[in-house]
Amino acid sequence: MLGGVPPSKESRGIGSYEGEHRDRQVEIAVQLFQAMGIARDDKDKRQDWILRGFRGNPPILSGVQK
């Protein structure tokens, strides 16, 4: 499915986030996965969610606040 390319947490084309932006990215990811009941160390479930391309999760995304 990934065509032999290792999965990456960073968006392609914009580089990686740094400083406050990276902190916020991590904070939101933690909240999102907690809301979905996916443990930090459950890499299979996290990767499955990423590969599905966020489908079926907009209500959760709209409820995550800083």
Instruction: Note whether residue 4 is domain-resident.
Output: no
- Work out the average pLDDT over 37-66: 71
**Whether residue 1 has pLDDT greater than 70:** no
Instruction: Note whether residue 29 is domain-resident.
Output: yes
Instruction: Note whether residue 2 is domain-resident.
Output: no
Q: How many domains does the chain fold into?
A: 1
Instruction: Note whether residue 53 is domain-resident.
Output: yes
Note the pTM of the prediction, 2 decimals: 0.52
Q: Which domain holds residue 52?
A: 19-63
Instruction: Note whether residue 52 is domain-resident.
Output: yes
Instruction: Note whether residue 12 is domain-resident.
Output: no
Instruction: Note whether residue 31 is domain-resident.
Output: yes
Instruction: Note whether residue 11 is domain-resident.
Output: no
Residue burial 17-51, b: 16+ Cβ < 10 Å; e: rest: eeeeeeeeeeeeeeebbeeeebeeeeeeebeebee
